[in-house]
Structure 1
Amino acid sequence: METMQAPAVPGFAIGRLLGSGGTAHVWEAVRLTDGRSVALKVSHGDPEAAEAAVREAAVSSRAAAEHIVRVEACLTLPDDRVALVMPLMRGGSLAGLVGARGHLGPGEVVTVLAPLAGALGRLHAAGVVHGDVSPGNVLLDLDGRPALADLGLGRVLGEAPAAVWGTPGHLAPEVLLGADPTPAADVYALGALGWLCLAGEVPGAPGLRPSLTQVSRAGAGSEAVVAALEAAVHPRPEERPGADELACLLFAAARPEPLRLRVAGDDGSAVTYRLRAAAGRPPVPPAPERGRHRAPTPGTTDRRGVARPVALGVCALGLVAALVVVGALVGREDPARASVPSAAPSAGPSATDDPRLDPLAPVRRPQDLLTVLADERAAAYRAADPTRLDAAETRGGALHRRDAAAVATLRAAGARYDGLAYRVTDVVVRSADVDRATLRATVAVGAHRVVRPGDDTDVTAVPGEPVLVDVVRTAEGWRVEALRSP
């Protein structure tokens, strides 16, 4: 086999070739400035390939969303080729996974397709059609998080039509007949992707193919998933569900299950990726100082059974249009709530200055909003009072239930967290409308003391970690609904 010469990209050390396509080669690389591993997508030498790369960067910028591989930088090389810097997805592609395993289970299909449908819904809302939703363009991280790649064929609705490209078996019948790609065509392609996952083969032409029920290899319990996918590949575009509707149909069809990946040739390797649950691994605290005890990670219980506060920053496994990766929020910091240096319980801001009551706070005062919410949450742990959580979190949600149980356990043990505070920095607005917003922030846990009857423990500070915080506007004002990995 002929060895391909690695490109010279200033500022990057090029590693192995990850894949090749019609317009570019993708290489693993290390950025020399910070040692971070990335994927470099280097276009072929022809002008059309370079144009596709520039288009991908532009569309990625316009439609940045969860579960879409983002272009972090677009570089023009001395030979006029274009290199795109992207996150490195180490789990391979869905094409490779299905090829290795033959088919996926219905719960795994929900795990993969539901967040992709949500991502397509956000693309469509931004006026963008992907144009080539196919198994080779669905990349997986090692935690099973799926992301749509290759927006080089994507285009903004209303643009002058161009040549139609796509992957056989995933092109909608109307596109094959000459119609321009539309959101409905993307939905068809996603349905065909699900068909491949269940049957191990792509659907044939409408009117000539068998039903998915006849060829699905998923067995009993997959009927509702099959019905949702059959709706997505309906011959008439007007009969197909929208992308967001398809995400809801899939969620209702089966319980998401961990996606079993092949990692380094190991068929038994599995990663847990569940949807609709805030999750993460505990941050690694610094080594305890001399003369101090090293307290367990906040959010779990210590050997005496005393609950520790859940850290605000969620550790990233992966997520969704309100989907999030799996794990236990316990033991992680919730970035939505900032750390504040005060050790005493907060009296709260005055009503006239409370950012939670400002309808535009997520856009106008995001730092203030997250800081107040974080302080209220910390106050609940400092006072061992679960009712204080209502000032920070939406009642009844998974995050609120976990925090309330932890604080109640703390209170029952006669313990509290003296001086607990969160510090919120680097707040960025990812999306916002009148009733909900997603903010990205870095949240650190300050040093504090766990006070128990007859025994106190000093806890060292935990450095901040990035996190996505979903906030919603309730009758009482803005509250944290969920935490997601960035």
Structure 2
Amino acid sequence: MASEDISGYSLRRGLGSGSAGTVWLLRDLATGRHAVLKRIPKSAAVATNEFLGDLELARGIDHPHLARLLEVRESDREWLLFSQYVAAGTLTSLLERRGALSPGELVTLISPLAQALSALHGRGLTHGHLDLNDIMFDADGRPVITDAGLRALSSPTTPQADLSALGAIAHQAGGTAKTFPPSLFTTTPEVLAQQALHRATPLPISLNFTQDPEPATKTSPVTPATTPAPATPASPVAPAISLRRSQPPTQQRGSIRETALKFLRTKRAAYGILAACGAGAVTTLVIGLLTVGVLGHPAPNSTANAAQPTQPTTPHQSTTPRQPVTPKQPAADGKKWLQTLQALDVRRSQAFATLDPTVLNSVYVPGSSPWSADRELLATYRKQQLRIEGLRLQIQSVTVENPGPTTVVLRVVDRFVAGAAITSTGQRTIFPPGKPTTRRVTLTAAATSWRISSIAEA
């Protein structure tokens, strides 16, 4: 490979090879960040025009659960595909490292991947060869489909074949015919994404790393290690561990980005613990009717009890929680409460992705201040035909300040890491990540779960 072929990058090492090409880890000389190069012999793409057309379509897709194709170059004998780097490895590696996923983790995996297929099919593409090696995880534990746009290298396929492949992945990752029946994967991706959320309570996917992973090795011939730009939910939930982010946030368009940054700096948006997505939402209101795009859907585009981060609303709020039947209370250690908050965050994010206020009833105590504030935001977005997707909050620490059988007060340090706003024309504006903020969150017991009754800055 001639040096001019990879101008702008430094070659680090090989990541894998196969019959369709080789994969290399690169370093972007301009940013210092990792990228991935896939070298595909020209002989592998018999229908050249179709191949290049698919790659052009793939480059136009910006979805948090689809790996982004950054650039395509041509040499005398090869096609060179430059992609973003995905830090935490493949689903194959995860299953080898820790075993099958729980039903809740599978919901967090399958729902956003169905959303990603919806985005892919909406552009007239199919994946064509989806398997465990084509599912990777970014530095925040979000599942990502790689190699969109390479269907010309395999046998012709259909959108339904992609869904069937996703069903096979669900069962290989630990799903059963009872929890994820084959019939679930015979509908559309949009319906699958929503119905999957009702199969179990979404839980963060534990990547089971004790330290930051090395650059992932991927041997699938059509699977470069790539990572999507932050956008909808999400995947949807924050990871069970903290890993370094390997990619910078997607660049915003000048004036919109400056407005969002100014708004976040002045803290005029009172976004709370489960969703820095709140910040993105309020910022969107301040900006007004936008003609640009927005928060990406994690994962997820539409679902009723989604696997995505939730968004709070007003700090300095407090209400008297109801005293319903006490559910099973998580242990007092922060890890258990972290999982509770992440599950709530997922549901709230879905409420904003679908603009469905009824989803908020499973996040907040109905009638509480954050519940009322989020409902008002959703009503405004519906009028503006503005959808908020990909809201993602990274919860860095959880401390129990005041435990109790029906009410628990938590001191939480969280940080907004992703979110976007999408107009009715499909234009998207991605908001920048925020700084860590300490909040005091009050949870109140419902019949079988916990809900937020107040959020306040600590």
Normalised by the length of structure 2, the TM-score is: 0.51
Match of 2:168 in 1: 192
Structure 1 residue 244 displacement after superposition: 1.5
User: What's 2:125 paired with?
Assistant: 128
Please state whether the residue corresponding to 1:143 is helix, strand or coil: coil
Structure number with higher relative contact order (C-alpha < 8 Å, ≥ 6 residues apart): 2
**Deviation string for 1:25-46 (max 9, x for gaps)?**
2222111122122122222363
Secondary structure at the aligned position of 2:11 is classed as strand
Q: 1:19 to 1:5 in 2, by over 3 A?
A: farther
Conserved in 2, the CA contact under 8 Å of 1:56 and 1:150? no
The answer to whether the 8 Å contact 2:100/2:174 transfers is yes
2:180 matched to which residue of 1? 226
Q: CA offset at residue 263 of structure 1?
A: 3.1
Q: 1:311 to 1:41 in 2, by over 3 A?
A: farther
Pairs within 5 Å for 1:38-77: 38-44=35-41, 46=43, 48=45, 51=48, 54=52, 57-77=55-75
The secondary structure found in structure 2 opposite 1:241 is: coil
Q: Which has the larger radius of gyration?
A: 1
Deviates most, 244-253 or 94-103:
94-103
Any stretches of 5+ residues in structure 2 without a counterpart?
214-232, 243-262, 295-312, 320-354, 373-381, 392-415, 435-458
The change in CA–CA distance for 1:328 and 1:274 in structure 2 (over 3 A counts) is: same
Q: Does 1:337 align with 2:291?
A: no
Which residue in 2 is equivalent to 1:252? 198
Q: CA deviation at 1:24?
A: 2.3
Structure 1 unmatched ranges of 5 or more: 156-162, 166-179, 200-211, 214-222, 234-239, 268-272, 282-297, 300-307, 315-326, 341-354, 368-379, 387-392, 409-431, 442-463, 474-481
In 1, are the aligned partners of 2:388 and 2:420 still within 8 Å (CA)? Answer: yes
| Alpha-carbon offset, residue 124 of structure 1 | 1.9
Superposition deviation, residue 152 in structure 1: 3.9
The letter of the residue matching 1:129 is T
- TM-superposed CA distance for 1:62, in Å, is 4.4
What aligned pairs does 1:424-463 form with structure 2 within 5 A after superposition? 435-437=385-387
Q: What is the correspondence of 1:143-222 to structure 2 with a 5 Å cutoff?
A: 143-154=140-151, 164-165=154-155, 180-198=156-174, 212-213=176-177
- Partner SS state of residue 469, structure 1: strand
8 Å contact kept, 1:93–1:139 = yes
Q: 1:139 to 1:49 in 2, by over 3 A?
A: farther
Q: Which amino acid aligns with 2:6?
A: V
After superposition, the C-alpha distances for 1:380-435 in whole angstroms (9 at most, x for unaligned) are: 98999x9xxxxxx9977769979x85799xxxxxxxxxxxxxxxxxxxxxxx9994
Q: How does 1:381-420 map to 2 (within 5 A)?
A: 405=369
Amino acid at match of 2:23: V
* Number of residue equivalences: 300
Query: Structure 2: how far apart are the matches of 1:125 and 1:433?
Result: 25
1:264 Cα deviation from its structure 2 partner: 6.7
Q: Where does residue 404 of structure 2 map in the other structure?
A: none
Deviation at 1:261, TM superposition (A): 1.2
Identity %: 22
What amino acid is the match of 1:134?
Answer: D
Distance 2:52 2:86 in 1: 21
State whether residues 386 and 421 of structure 2, in contact with CA within 8 Å, keep that contact through their aligned partners in structure 1. no
**Contact 1:110-1:250 at 8 Å conserved across structures:** yes
Q: State the Cα RMSD in Å.
A: 5.3
Q: Secondary structure at the match of 2:197?
A: helix
Q: What is the letter of the counterpart of residue 197 of structure 1?
A: A
Using the TM superposition, give the Cα deviation of residue 128 of structure 1 relative to its aligned residue in structure 2, in angstroms: 1.8
Mapped partners of 2:171, 2:316: distance in 1: 53
Distance 1:186 1:46 in 2: 25
Residue 144 of structure 2 aligns to a residue whose secondary structure is strand
Distance 1:433 1:65 in 2: 24
Tell me which residue corresponds to 1:85: 82
Equivalence for 1:328: 274
| Cα distance, 1:23–1:366 mapped onto 2, change above 3 Å | closer
- CA distance in 2: counterparts of 1:336 and 1:262, whole angstroms: 35
Could you tell me how far apart the structure 2 residues matched to 1:49 and 1:23 are? 12
Give the partner amino acid of 2:10. Answer: A
CA distance in 2, matches of 1:401, 1:131: 41
Offset at residue 7 of structure 1 (A):
10
CA deviation digits over 1:120-155, x for unaligned, max 9? Answer: 122222222211111111111122111111124336
- Structure 1 residue 104: deviation in Å? 1.5
Question: Cα distance 1:120–1:382, how it changes in 2: closer, same or farther (>3 A)?
Answer: closer
Match for 1:117 among 108, 114, 118?
114
TM-score of the superposed pair, with normalisation by structure 1:
0.49
1:227-248 CA deviation, whole Å, 9 max, x = no partner? 2xx2146xxxxxx222111112
